[in-house]
Structure 1
């Protein structure tokens, strides 16, 4: 966590772009964190395994030194080698079950890939640490996908496991996600897109959430 006293409302999860090298993205990540409260960083796969590990190793270190939990997507071997705080399993129930069996209680283990309520409930039976609606970094449109908003709202109302909803490429999309009751909004292009100032984007997102996000219980 980048904030010693995190706000009791929807918080930001950043998603690393897959088109940048570590030496370019690292400083941009620090700029983003300087913009205010950020909970964690999700790092999607980045080329082949060797390339992914070479990218992830310095980025995990930078994220952790900045107070963020660093979460690796779909590669538990890389997660272990680079000392990540968690793994995000997008690949399916079997891989999720394996990750929870091996890493549950040691690392954060999050679930993604649910395209329906039934999918989400099936994954939720395994008790991941969070459920992600959408796909990390798939935010090519300004607004969040309506299905992800609907699933996030239903999940937040019905299930105690925290959820993250993928935001759109417009920073204003955080307001719609916060309104669902989701604990976290994932941002990638809205913060790290071409021509965007990462610090200013995170500042703006936090300002919107401070103003419009409902307070969360617990």
Structure 2
């Protein structure tokens, strides 16, 4: 399985000519990530995780594309289209469920975005585990229960987190490999600091951390 990292939280996975994209957001190269995709997973409604315009353009131009998202996100997308053939390819997904997609078995976890502030409403958030290998938590530190993903995507910085929580997430997941996501709001100095802590402390618990620039790919 080939993993390609795009800016912030967007990931593209390819296996045997099937393409799965997670969180093509407004901070990411969404059109590039979505090119030729077969399925898209959205963790939650915030625009840095879904570029609604790019997703709708892809649905219109790619008649085989399906989009899976929490009910609120899927409902908003369906409300923006009058073509039932497009609306039928926008599918609600719930936590604690399994999606059987070509070449990709997807398990879902969580249900709630991490708290930013009590005055900022919480929204639905779903973490996705792909082929019992790659785990994308969206905006949460929910660890998939009973499982240790081989590859962990780590939100290294967010308005809802602190570095200690990032490190504890890596420790709890016990993945063999980890790569950064959700880094767009950090400058290089801050990114180097956080990644340095994650790499050093993660290694104590058997996790090898690696940095991927936008457009970098790694074979899993």
TM range (shorter): 0.3 to 0.5
Tell me the TM-score normalised to structure 1 length. Answer: 0.37
Greater strand proportion: 2
Greater relative contact order, per chain length (Cα 8 Å cut-off, separation 6+): 1
Between Structure 1 and Structure 2, which shows a larger proportion of helix residues? 1
